[in-house]
Structure 1
Amino acid sequence: MRGTSKNIMWGLGLLPEDEALIRSVGNAEFTLISLPIGTIPDAEAMDRDEPSIIWISKSAWDALKVMPTTTTRHLDITPRVLLLGGEYSMLELEEALDNGFTDVIKPPLTESRIKDVLLRTAETHNLYHDIMRMTREICLERELLERKNDILSFIVSFLSRATESLEPEEILQSAQEELATLLPVAAIGGICWVPGTGRDLDATLYISTQEEHPAHNEWKELLLGGAEKLTGKRVSAYATELLSPIDATGHLMPESGKVAILPLKTAGETFGAVALLTRTELHLGKDQVQVLKSAMKHLALALRNAMLYKQMKLHADLDGLTLVHNRRHFDKRLNEELERHARYNQPLSLLMLDIDHFKMINDTHGHQAGDTVLKELAALLRNTLRNTDYVSRYGGEEFTVILPHTQEQDAAQLAERLRLKIAEYTFMHDSTSIPVTISVGLAANADNHLESADLIAEADKALYRAKEQGRNRVCTSDRCFRRLASVAS
């Protein structure tokens, strides 16, 4: 056992400047023991020092990976932080997350990042002591053995499942299933946003009821209201993701008196909330409250990490000029949406848009003017379409729009409104007005029988028809739709 009141940290292969910064930030509560690359403290040293956290440089990690697991496996029981210095790849980042690192820090290492890690280390340390205290109570009160064992099993299972994915909806899905083993949970909903961003919030809602059912709106209003109450800010924009319901019907209303709104916090910042709907009014014992609080702390940490990872992936999936999704991500998303809509037997439509005579715009006004038109057109699409619709730049001057839960006729009306809005919009470059129109090809997967390649080919064929029929119109592969009258007229 260590003979100091301070918690001990180990540092493996740290750069001198990183070592000095970590030592300085943690000085009040932590003592840092720094070891060179290749020096691995044994299990006996682990028992003696009881390190709260291990800081590992990338060079030290590279050395650890080639060592026998019998030499290094005792390090896995302590939270580990990987410091990525210099060059690294996305594959290395994913490998680090797969290897159970609590945190992966990209350069430069800052005082705020170190404080954040140490704060979460203290929370993990407190959770560990909570578990140990509960275990001692089990030993002292044999009549409660079965219930205490169930609680301990829940904690282990909950923490394990919360960290096995970096997708927020999968994490919440696992939390829903795990919480149902502890409490009479009938359904769960969630909302997450990026903390500290402006006067309004841009959020993602996670709901287990279909959009067309009245319960969906009830859950939506509950979550949006919960976010506003927690932050004092309005949710001005949001997207919705579906969770699989616990209840077979999937249409449970969030009844008053049976719903608990639990905030999601990390490092003192609230970034979301979870709404639990229980089958009866909830009356928790002291131990259940403690376990639930611990579970929410780790759920918050898992969801925050997932959001950061999703933001990082999002930047890789965006077209650099227009800031809508790129072709690679469109192909992936279309396959996912087709599978989801086939599973629930729901319609889906696809629009393929092309700027008419775009080469003439470039030749007449210059390529910078063409770039301006592409960027403003993408912004118009984002601001006009629903939050559930998915816009991407397919290539050159072509854009695609995935329209979930949308029949062909409704998609045609939306496409026609887009066509008219773009035709009436004033595109400006260097004080010069540039007239722009679009041709739109529409394909609908009404019977859920088309593969992604077939749906794209159908939309492309429809776009060709629109251009063949004179451009500035909306067509399917076999007909064109009547154009709306101009607002000006």
Structure 2
Amino acid sequence: MGSETQKKCAERAKKQLVEELEALHKRIVELEKSGAGSKPTEEALLERGLVTSAAIEEMPDGVMLVNMDGKLTYMNEACARLLGYKAGEMIGTSALELPTYRESRDREKAREILKKVISGGSTEPIDMDVITKDGREIPVSFTASVIKDAQGNSRTLVAVIRDVTERKRVEDAVRGSEELSRGMLETAATGIYLLQDGRFKYVNRLFEEISGYRSDELVGTYSLECVHPEDREAVRAKAIEVLKGQSSSPYEFRLIRKDLETVWVLDRLTSIQYKGKRSVLGTLMDITERKRIETEVLDYTRQIETLFNIGTTVSQTLNLTELLDSVLERVLGVMEIEAGGIFLLDRQTDELVLKAYRGMSAEFVGKVERLMVDEGFTGQAALSKKPLIVEDVAADPRLTRMGAKEEGIQSFAAVPIVAKDRILGVVGVGSYRSRKFPEREVKLLGTIANQIGMAVDNAQLYEQALELAFTDGLTGLYNRRYLMEQIEREFTRAERSNGSLSLMMIDLDGLKAINDRFGHHEGDGILKGLGGIIKVNTRASDVAARWGGDEFMLLTPDISSKGARKIGERIRSQVERYRPKIDGEEVRISISVGIASCPAHASDVTQLLQRVDEAMYSAKRGGKNQLCVFSY
């Protein structure tokens, strides 16, 4: 009957934890808007009551939270009932001034525990007696640990208090008698066992339930055979300490049940005389559910901290490369997964481009660095705008073509990056070991993808704003302002490296006549066409700009006037062959080009601009449709 009740409580706690995760995700957004991200994660959570979940209230043990000033900030109902106080009655009281200490030495013991926990992070369970509000004295087991922030600073002390009256009753009864009181032991609320020479001599009914073995299957066997291999040495050492007469504090270890399931237990050992021989009496409790809740709470805290950190990064940078790399690192860390990548959609080619990746081989990166939307598993996530999960890559045909199987990836998950109902990319993570992706992880990825979506959207808007600030709206070339910045920069670089650069001024001949005859709209079309011809004749390092009206400039770093003349002649020749049609009539156009270089023709930027202007007008005076290099 008790086992069924525990199961129902566990299921109820699990359901409440799931519901709370959804609430926490919503609260994250509210905290980011209100600026809570500026506080350490745990402090912000504690101040808003996010850690005091239903799961903690369900725990049978008392839980208290103490801040770094030593003040009590939280007490769950179990703790309040144990001490006989109302849950909020002692909030704000100094942990060292609580009226629950039996003697001054217990208060001093508490002081030492606080120091140890703050410096070391946790302490093994310690037995002490406490005084309840109505004056009763009860024995308790006390453990404490500390929550730290991302920088490793202690933020909050968590104390767990357990009533061990039943255990003490059993221990006292056994010490007082050579004969084990079978009735008392069989009805005890803890698992009880007796060891001699490392072998079981007795186990009670509850120990049978916890271990899954019958008493006759255990008696006579070595107790360490039931202990998880990684914990055996620690368990053996505890038993030896007790047999040597040393005191033993409660400790935790993993027990292997008969059905091979692993359960966590809290054990306490006592040395007794049984039938004239030194023996070890153990009392243990199944704490598997408590450990699960602790793990989930820790996972949720790490997830929330990750979301806060990502939110801070998103708000502080518009550099997409840095942002995506930082976000991916945090995602892999919180999910404890080995590989991942973030793809962004190139709208011109309709391809997903790999912008950030970790844990992948160069060969695999080469296969997936550009994917069509609908190609492979990542493409399917983008196309459907829904998360896609593959827990067994080898059995799924959507990934084999991309080489994931050959890469050694066994499990994979992809979540689309969407902003304003537009697909912007995909976040993908892969594991080189078989694993599942719980719903909470998929939700976490979705929340992170939304944050990336906002960041990408903001960065793209920023890039568009920069483009508008530095480009000519008609031709799409750079504007005069941007060109001047680049001329100054390249001129300084050329001087420092004893290099060269050339500047070309291109003027469209007869634009006024075209405007007068056909209208400014047609004239603008010809200017746009000329801008296109100039652009296709530039290198990646060149800067083509509209200088104003019918004048264009082309800055060519690391090129002398001789090299610039070749480029200019190629542009002039292509313009001469260009025959735009206006109202069915072919229109002939031409350009006059001037070239000046440094250091050959100018010692500063102002002089360079004057010389290139003079060279262009020389070409005009020479009959137009020609190129002229400045000469003294």
The structure that has the greater radius of gyration is 2
When the two structures are superposed, what TM-score results if normalisation uses the length of structure 1?
0.46
Task: Between the two structures, name the one with larger relative contact order (CA 8 Å, sep ≥ 6).
Answer: 1
